[in-house]
Amino acid sequence: MDVRRGVERCSGGDGRGIESRHAFSFGAYYDPDNLRFGALIACNEERLAPGAGFDEHPHSHTEIVTWVVEGELTHRDSLGQETVVGPGDVQRLSSAAGVRHVERNAGPEPLTFVQMWLAPLNPGGVPGYEIVRGIADSTPYAVPEAGAMLHVRRLRPGERTALPDAAYVYLHLVRGEVRLAGERLEPGDSARITDARDLEAVGVTAAELLLWEMGA
């Protein structure tokens, strides 16, 4: 298990209301020893001030999954989709052979979201878009194109949750504090676990965590 602290993330931004914090090599930040874990190639914490956002830009050969922490994210893409994503919703943009999109904070309050990129098993294909409203703890979200499954877990203090037994498990703590194999994790911290077996996370406080279950 490799624990990475949120304070160690590489920070970036455009000085116009966007603050980004990267868990993996991304953009101008390059570390040859930190390119990916399993299928996961990015886990970015994004903070957008009201009115700020990412202008239209392209993607290809990437599964892009977004989890809103607070505020509302306005999404528009070249597939003709235009949606507002709120806390508890899971959004996925399958960029496949190529797609363009815009992401903005069109609301009056600050926006915080976690965006996770996964490498597909096979490049190319037809782009697609999906949003699941109010995903429940007991309903994993499958990304078969990347051989991955997202689990959302919300814990009360003292409550336990089992981590998936898998070749690769990536844990990102959204809020609160948890204990995992003797480590205390705080918001923004992550754990990269290889060959996970019989592991549990325990809520120290009320907590919300994202778990990626990935095959070999």
Residue 101 is labelled as binding a ligand: yes
Domain boundaries, the chain: 2-214
Residue in 21, 25, 28 with CA at minimum distance from that of residue 41: 25
Reduced to 3 states, what is the DSSP secondary structure of residue 149? Answer: strand
pLDDT tens sequence across 152-178: 999 999 999 999 999 999 999 999 999
Percent of residues, the chain, with pLDDT higher than 70: 99
Residue 22 is labelled as binding a ligand: no
DSSP state of 26: B
* Backbone dihedral angles phi then psi of residue 108, each to the nearest 5 degrees: -85, -10
Q: Which two tokens stand for residue 2?
A: 């490799």
Give CATH superfamily name and number for 2-214.
Jelly Rolls (2.60.120.10)
Residue 57 is labelled as binding a ligand: yes
The answer to whether residues 94 and 145 touch, using CB atoms and an 8 Å cutoff, is yes
Q: How far apart are CA 87 and CA 135, in angstroms?
A: 10
Q: How far apart are CA 81 and CA 127, in angstroms?
A: 12
pLDDT tens sequence across 98-137: 999 999 999 999 999 999 999 999 989 999 999 999 998 9
Residue 75 is labelled as binding a ligand: no
